[in-house]
Amino acid sequence: MAGHGTALVIDDEPQIVKAVARALGDIFEVVLRASTAQEGIDQAASARPDLIVLDLGLPDRDGLAVCREIRAWSSAAIIVLSARHSDHDKIALLDAGADDYVTKPFSTAELQARVRAQLRRARAILPSEGSAIEIDGLEIDLATRTVARAGEPIHLTPTEWALLRTFVRNAGKTLTHQQMFAEVWPNSGGDPQQYLRAYVATLRRKIERDPLRPNLILTESGAGYRFATL
Amino acid sequence: MPAIASRLSDGSVSARLRPFLTGLPWLALLAAVTVVLVIGRGHIDKVHAALGYLLVVLVASSRSGRGWGLATAVLAFLCFDFFLVPPYLSLSVEHQPDWIVLGSFLITGIVAAQLFDRAKREAREAQARTEEVDRFSVVGAEALNGGRAEQGPEALARILRETLQVKRCEIYLFEAPDKLRLVASATGGGGAGADFGGMPESPDGTDLLHYVARYRALAVQRPTGDVHVEPSDGHLSKLLAELPGSLVTLIPLTVRERTVGVVSLVGGGRPLDAAQIRFVEALAYYAALGVERVRLVAQEERAGALREADRLKDALLAAVSHELRTPLTTIKAVAHELRSREEGAAVIEAEADRLNRFVADLLDLSRLDSGSVTMRPEIVPADDLIGAALRQLSAGAAACDIRAQVPPNRILFCRIDFVLAQRCLVNILENAVRYCARGPVQVTAALEGSMVMFAVADCGPGVPDDEVELVFESFYRGRGVPAGSGTGLGLSIARRLARAQGGDVRYAPRPGGGSIFTLALPAADVPEDASAEAGDTP
């Protein structure tokens, strides 16, 4: 039943650790447990897990700082558990290097889905400039800069193209607005940035089957946008 | 009461005689000076005699006032003429120039008496002013001093009683919106009015005290027993002129069109001049200010206590919601594992979800109440808001047939906080699904003036006319709603979140049955190149 790879759960609540460990047990071969931030950092360094589930409310250190420290030397996917539901926190921890977050209380199915998405993303071979991809019936060729649905080419403006390229390259990862500005408008500040949502809405109308129920560009409320996993 | 009556008459007899008694010394002095001058009249000049008499006139007017000054002047003139101007013992004059001496003497005497009197009166008035200013400063200090609530009225009653010389001065203040309470009373010996037989009735048959407060009227009960009432604006002087003879006089204490209490003056008092009436008016205003200040201080203290209670409640709610979520997570996780084996486990998970929604709603409500919701307005396309709301619906609601529609040829924009607006729309959608489980529920966006209208139409039973505003109240559930569905907070939170960012949530019946809840949010202008880049070449 167990899969392969190693996961690490860092949480001080024994009941939550138990529940998370059980959920991860279906996916990973080894599930390590740590009950303090220091223990977690040590295990992350020694065992080199593929994925880390990190609780923000640790007794000894601020979860955000732990996240930043681990991200500095580890490429493991980090999923944060948080009981606070301030949007500011979410953006801060995505900017600090977390790959995803789950708000308490979460269902085992939800956590497992998030974990699998992270693993798929890690294993997926990101499209190089030379290869064409197809997702949800949309054909994207980064090399020739063409987009088409059912053979019908779709016309994109330079900004829309830059947006789509950024999304595709970070498929499966929640991008904060700040991260997208850095990719799409690296040299301009202010004005176009406040219209990010407007550009995304226009792009959705061009590439989604149903722009009101998007399958490709998903809105992560209070955090940013996430492109569907390839 | 014969004893009192005789004492009163004794008093009045001596009072009538007193002016004559005070003048006697001056008559004696005049006689003595005349005797001396008559003895020495062979050796002195008429001018010397005039100076001697003038001295008597000056002393008399300085000590006994103008009346005796003038009387002494005239008597001295007569004595001068009769005893010292030849022919002696006659009022006729031998040498005509002596008239000049006599005339000058009379005029000088009269003028001196007048001047003395005026100077004395001015000195007395200045003294009275000083006393008034003193009293003013005392009341002012009492009114503005942060002392106990009772101190101000007590000082006011004492000062008013002393100033007006009434038997008793009482201050009544409002203890409840319609109930006056006696808070201070000063009693003293003065006052010559008849006995006060209790508070008389007002013209409309109610208690006069409350009548005065209610209509901001002045009232006086005359010795005959009848009650006279008139509007308070500007007639205080007329009323106070009646004070000496009145049984009871009632004056409302008013600040900025608000009556805060009533002053009751019982039993007579002394006649007042214009300055004293002004003083009483100012005093009453000062006192009212003082009372109002005490009330405001008490109100502020209560508000402070409430704020503190609010803060504690918020802290408690935040802690409770945090502490609730951890066990909920465990419950959900365990239930999920059991689900494959146990039918009941699904119920556990559903109930845990419901509890969690309730905690989130409570937390939102508490944040809204304490004003700690922070807005981060940004430009949001209607497409994005509807899409995000549909994605966030709970599993049950998502299964419903929801048809969303936006204008196909243009994108509408709002300037709103995305997350809060999303919660509004999710709450409205969840509500619609609750009453229209199989659907279809329709969501549309349209621009109306400066607002973007998100209309959610359901096929439910609609809202009865008398419940339309109630559905937006916290914890309200419509009639005939199955128990255990929803928290009764969704629409209330949606409306408050919408209003907090310049929008609103409104209800309208749907033609053909059902409800339409409309979320109105402020529209935003977006430059053409950002909203429609379709014309550009790549």
CATH code of A178's domain: 1.10.10.10
State pLDDT tens for residues B270-291: 677 777 777 777 777 777 777 7
Among A89, A123, A157, residue at a domain's last position: A123
State pLDDT tens for residues B148-192: 556 667 777 887 887 777 888 888 888 777 788 888 888 875 444
Is A14's Cβ below 8 Å from some Cβ in B?
Answer: no
Per-residue pLDDT, averaged over B114-136, amounts to: 82
Per-residue pLDDT, averaged over A27-51, amounts to: 92
Concatenating the DSSP letter of every residue in A20-32 gives HHHHHHTT-SEEE
Q: What is the pLDDT of residue B70?
A: 86
> Are A113 and A166 members of one domain?
no
Q: Report how many domains make up chain A.
A: 2
CA distance A73 to chain B (A): 30
Task: For the beta carbon of residue A87, count every other beta carbon within 10 angstroms.
Answer: 17
At A118 the three-state DSSP class reads helix
Residue B258 pLDDT > 60, yes or no?
yes
> Are A39 and A116 members of one domain?
yes
State pLDDT tens for residues A61-116: 888 889 999 999 998 999 998 876 566 677 888 888 888 888 887 888 889 988 98
Of A87, A198, A211, the CB nearest to B419: A87
Among A69, A91, A123, residue at a domain's last position: A123
Pairing state between β B227-231 and B217-221:
antiparallel
- Residues of A with CB below 8 A from B413's CB? 198
Q: A230, A172 in Cβ contact below 8 A?
A: yes
At A129 the three-state DSSP class reads coil
Q: What is the pLDDT of residue B405?
A: 92
Cα(B505)–Cα(B492) distance, integer angstroms? 9
Cα(B322)–Cα(B316) distance, integer angstroms? 10
Which value, to the nearest 10 degrees, does the dihedral of the CA atoms of residues B260, B265, B270, B276 take? 0
Helix (H) / strand (E) containing B174: strand B168-176
Q: What is the pLDDT of residue B537?
A: 36
Considering the four listed CATH numbers 3.30.56.10, 3.40.50.720, 3.30.450.40, 1.10.10.60, the one that applies to the domain covering B147-299 is 3.30.450.40
Please report the ipTM that was assigned to this predicted complex.
0.81
At A124 the three-state DSSP class reads coil
> Are A13 and A104 members of one domain?
yes
Within a domain: A84: yes
> Are A117 and A147 members of one domain?
no
Q: Domain range holding A97?
A: 6-123
Among A105, A123, A141, residue at a domain's last position: A123
192-221 of A, contacting B, C-beta below 8 A = 192, 194-195, 197-202, 204-206, 211-214, 218-219, 221
> Are A34 and A141 members of one domain?
no
- Residues of B with CB below 8 A from A212's CB? 383, 386-387, 390, 404-406
Within a domain: A1: no
Taking the whole predicted model, whether its pTM rises above 0.80 is answered as no
Q: What is the pLDDT of residue B191?
A: 43
Q: Does B383 contact A205 at a Cβ distance shorter than 8 Å?
A: yes
Q: Does B533 contact A108 at a Cβ distance shorter than 8 Å?
A: no
CATH class of B377-528: alpha beta
Length of chain A (residues): 230
Per-residue pLDDT, averaged over B336-340, amounts to: 72
State pLDDT tens for residues B47-81: 888 888 888 888 888 888 788 888 888 888 888 88
